[in-house]
Structures are given as C-alpha cells and as structure tokens.
Amino acid sequence: MKQRQEVQSLLKQMAKGCPALAEEVRTWVRTLIDRKKTLFGHDRRMVMSHTFVNEGGRRELYVVSALIPER
C-alpha cells in the first residue's frame, strides 16, 4: 500500500536521531490520518511531497498537496 510506504518514510525522517520517538510519531500520524478520513473524507487532495526540518530544537513538516481528479 502506497500510504503505508509514505508513512514509513515520514517516520524515518521524523525520528532520525531519536529512535524512541518513532512509536510516538507513528501514533500521531495514524491519529491524523483517521481524523482526515473522518472529518475531511470529501477533501480530494493528495500529498505530493513533504519536507521535514529539524533545526534548533524545532521540528517542522512542510507539505505540498494537489487535487485528485474525480474518477
């Protein structure tokens, strides 16, 4: 499943240098995915790319999305 691969990639980047953080991040990502499906299931955007920045003790996630055409 493509989503599972993307989540694994995101977890790898976010937990880099702090493996103990991986499970906590996985829980948050799952929560956010479930929330998106429940509250915004009609929103047809898809994440096209993401960048994770870890500087100065701050972690930031930047996301580029695009509209998925109707089938």
29 three-class SS: helix
Q: What is the pLDDT of residue 68?
A: 86
The boundaries of the domain holding residue 6 are 2-67
Q: What is the pLDDT of residue 11?
A: 79
Q: What is the pLDDT of residue 63?
A: 94
Q: What is the pLDDT of residue 19?
A: 76
What are the two backbone dihedrals, phi and then psi, of residue 54, each rounded to the nearest 5 degrees?
Answer: -125, 95
pLDDT one digit per residue (tens) for the chain, 71 residues: 688 888 888 778 877 777 777 788 888 888 988 998 899 988 888 889 999 898 888 889 999 999 988 76
